[in-house]
Structure 1
Amino acid sequence: MKHLSRFLLASLLVFGLTSVQAQDANNPWAIGIGVNAVDTFPTGEDAPNGDFGEDFFNVSDHWNILPSVSKLSVGRYIGGGFVFEAAGSVNQIDKFGDSSVDDLSYYALDGALNYSLRAALNDGWFDPFLGAGGGYTWLDEEGFGTLNGTLGFNFWFSDNIALNIQSTYKYAFEDENPTHFQHAAGIKFVFGGKDTDGDGIYDKDDECPETPGLAEFNGCPDSDGDGIEDRKDACPMEAGLAEFDGCPDTDGDGVPDPQDECPTVAGLASMNGCPDADGDGVKDSEDECPNEAGPKANNGCPFKDKDGDGVLDKDDQCPDVAGTVANNGCPEVSAEVIKELNEYSKTVLFDLNKATIRSESQSALNSIHEIMHEYSTTIFHIGGHTDSQGSDDYNLKLSKERAASVREYLVSKGIPASRLTSEGYGEARPIATNNTAAGRQDNRRVEISLDKDKEVRKTATDSTSTNN
């Protein structure tokens, strides 16, 4: 016992109050291996035994100890601090109370339900427990049942290994069989804990059981190593600052990168992290004149009229070409321009009774395209006309198709479809007599004009948008 006391004192010095796992839901299984001692003396029975508890620690006079591994046990954690344990032990009895006897064989199988008091002691290395159960003992081949009560102590070296010391009172049901104490000491190994992600934190205590993590974050990861676990990190793959929920501020302007529209250039919070060099309230990336203060309505530039047509660039739909105020700064199509367009359109030829444009007409159509391109906001109308030969329905259909063919060609060359309308009028609008071949030739034509109805609607819409 002197050596045991020294060992326990050394354990106290080494382990202090360190918290360990022990046998619990994480490590539900335990295997024990050790030695046992049988003592019949302090049982309160008649001679040769003493009073109950008398000479309890008199090892040399009363304890029967087999000098080898003599006890094996297996235990399973049930829950709430309870462990069921089954044990088998062997011994050799040569001391029976105060008497000596011939060597008697001793075998025992026992089962107990043990309750750990460790949780009440802050889950430290010191683990006292109480147990109750029963067993069956064979003494020199005579078998008898016992009712058992146990007091024991586990001293946990680590999460999985403990020194076990216990004493069990075994009350024999039959008077002729000896009631006795069985003491045991040994090593207990616990195992069976589940750690799915292999991070050393059991699934029961791991808040991220399928992702390797850190103990400080209850098993959850901190991928970028910034001290903020991924679950609470708005930028889990980029090291950042706690004040920005784990996101970086690369340019150090006080605006975190995910909210910073210019993350590598220091800027202003009011500009979403972008700079405004001229202080005009327009961030440099959208300021056409970043070093000259100007209103936002003019894209950060001072008001200008580059083409000198009296319409400020901010309102000028054609800022590089002089136009008129009435046409929003764009040039207006004159009668001479319309006349020129129709001089070209007269030479546009189609295959007989078809809407297919003949190849020799491409030069004229390209000239029409160039003129229309100069008037980038004007809406033109293409009208198709026929002579009176053929039925009215046929002529109307053919004229529509031919006008549409011219429109499609000009669109394919880059004139926006929104700036071209087309319609066929058949033989309804002759410009010459249909009684002569020459007159019919003049009536078979394509005419280009201004689509004034659309122009009026467009002007009204532009005016509304400007006022708004």
Structure 2
Amino acid sequence: MVSKPNLLRGLALGAVVLGMAAPRAQAQTADRKTALSANIGLLQYSGNMGSDFWNRSGNDLSVGGGGTITRYLSPSFDVAVLGYYETYKFSSELTKGSNFEARIGMVDLGLKLKLNNGKILKEDAFIQPYLMGGAGMFLANSSGQVSGKGFGVTQIRRPEVFGLAGLRFRLSDAVYLDLTTSQHYPFTERVDNLSSPSDKLYDRFLLHQAGITVALGKMQDEDKDGVSDKKDKCPGTPAGVAVDPNGCPLDKDGDGVPDYQDKCPDVKGVAALQGCPDRDGDGVTDADDACPDTPGKAELKGCPDADNDGVIDQNDKCPNTPAGVSVDANGCPLDRDGDGVPDYQDRCPDRAGPASNKGCPEIKAEAKKILNEATKYINFDFNKATLKPSSYPKLQQMVQIMNDYPDYSLSIAGHTDSKGADNFNLGLSYERANAARAYMLSKGIPADRIEARGYGETKPIADNATAAGQALNRRVDFDPYLTGETNAAEVKYGAAPTIQEIKATGKPVPTRANKVVPKKAPAKKAPMKRK
């Protein structure tokens, strides 16, 4: 005989040993559909001789054994084949001299309802309740006595039905401890050899079992993450990546970026920044953002730069600099010559000058006087464009002025009196202006800094009716202007093509010998007092 306490202790120890030794595998599932159980059990009888249901005081408790084969059907249902055998003895306390001994076997087919189906409890819950019901065969050889009168061995082969309630304890992914109680109702009265006057079948049995269940089979797990392919919602997980029960990579901060790809796994962030946070949404992670609460530019460590000059707003002392202007470290436009006129507005960024002259040095009074009086000293042979030698000193002075003021250009405009034909006078004015220009070019002044044009007799400064007036009208004007500004002759006299412009069109420059007349100048203005 084995007492129930010793039985349970031995069963528990065996369960623990099996749980530690079992390989890692998923429980009985669609991948591992078959499970085997080995059980130790105790039968209890209730019938016409009496009952020992739930009676734990007897010292002659016998022990039986059984096994179960279970097949997975779905998360909620399994089908099982159950077998059990025990030699059972019962002595009646109601009627002296009544007892029996039976060698009992039961083979049943049952349908199991699992409560750990993912709807009531998780499939991998530690405690997994279940219910089972079914039918099978009750097999027994029974002998004994009734009221002191013995009866021989009786063979019993009868159908039975049963109901079972069980608790399964998950010891590992593949090994379980099962505790069950089932009631079996065989369709017979012959176990105790007593019949009821009402012909009712009273022989019933309780079966209490404890057992170890091991799930068999091989789980399909292509990505080797420990979650079967049928349950794996993320089947392509890289090797070695920790996953959740659904086979998806862990994401501790819940930002949608798995931990193995998340550079900030403990703080919720955005996928575009590999899981790192970006409060101001400027594409720069907060950890790298010098202005984390204000949208800015990546190249400026996430700080704003409203005028796009490369200096962040908080350091920009000139925040409204026009686009494309070069600035210093304070965000202010560069001023190389330090004259207070920024380079982008300074016509002479490398030479200091007042803002009134667009940042360029002003021509000194002495030089202006030379230019203004030059017309008096530039002389030509009569009716010719040949410079007289007396003109050279003054022209040389003008060459020096052009060298001293490299940011200026010079306008040379030729004029005649009204004597002679208009075309002759126009050609003569061009030739004389060009003669003065050619001299200065020969002294090294760049051609693009001197423009020559002729106005003929159209722009008199005195009355042509007198010889004195005609003398004043026969002149060549020399007017400086900042390179890039409007030509000084056009400002004074209006439009007239320069020699360069005429040549660019492929037309001949007016001369006294040809009849080509350039674009007519505007109508004559009132004579101007010569400065």
Q: TM-score, normalised by structure 2?
A: 0.44
Relative to its length, the structure with more helix (as a share) is 1
The normalised TM-score by structure 1 is 0.48
Considering only CA atoms, is the larger Rg found in Structure 1 or Structure 2? 2
